Structure 1
Amino acid sequence: MVGLDHIALIVSSEESIQFYEKLGFKETKRIERSYDTVVFMRCGQVGLEIFIDPKHPERVSDPEAKGLRHIAFSVNNWDKVLKNIGCESVQTDWFGRKFTFTVDPDGQPIELIEQKTEINSANFKTDEKWVQEYREQFGTEPNFM
């Protein structure tokens, strides 16, 4: 069995800590080193290990580099979080949940997904952008349930 232990992020300032607090994360430990600060945060089963260091290079985003694309957090207090964080328009995912994207202060893409106990397959129109992108990428129709 494999479980997610934590997500490690490099950020440029304390502003990012405040961003993740708005999502519900709480600081659990802080280690000051001569060259950076490491902040551990937790929200439910999700752990963050955040390295604060303004000297790291900027995130490559255009063209998007291989590797981590975004981090997705399920949110149980949907309206409160969206009120506190600037987000893109809300859409519906492949399973019928509301979702939106935002970025942290350093430009790391963050997906916020409505937390639901029951997940169903959603009905999508074949002209939706993501369906077209899926066809182009995989050469087949999406089938998620």
Structure 2
Amino acid sequence: MSVSIRPLGPDDREQWQEMYDGYQTFYKRPGLPADFFAEVFQRLLNDDPAEFHGLVAAEGGRLLGLTHYVFHPNIRIPTGTCYLQDLFTRPEARGKGVARALIGAVYSAADAAGVPDVYWLTAEDNYRGRMLYDRVGVKTAFIRYNRA
């Protein structure tokens, strides 16, 4: 598989939305309204370093995966940190190095920005994803809580 990783572009909207919707379905989240996709896509295309960034994995004209990440301050880490918020690959691309390449591209973007700390979250039952994450990251002892 000859996959290239590149920034999300204006012509990627339809395939990006299809994959992002698949990401929501994977995590059993309710459907999102059309205006949500339009707003998020525009935010991802913004060149503001403080805004979200989007990368895609492509083979020819077909997008096989996506990731979104954002840099933010951290009181404990003077250089700040990078949160890899979303990572999704199409089912047919799983196990073929696409997710690993996307994570590697986020690592490279973080390094280029002088922000070596990168973290992400996943569902406990995302066993297939966690097999990769155990190879490219370090599992922490922290448990996430959300506001009740």
Q: Same fold (TM over 0.5)?
A: no
Which structure is higher in helix share? 2
Answer with 1 or 2: which has the greater Rg.
Answer: 1
Which category describes the TM-score, using the shorter chain as reference length?
Answer: under 0.3
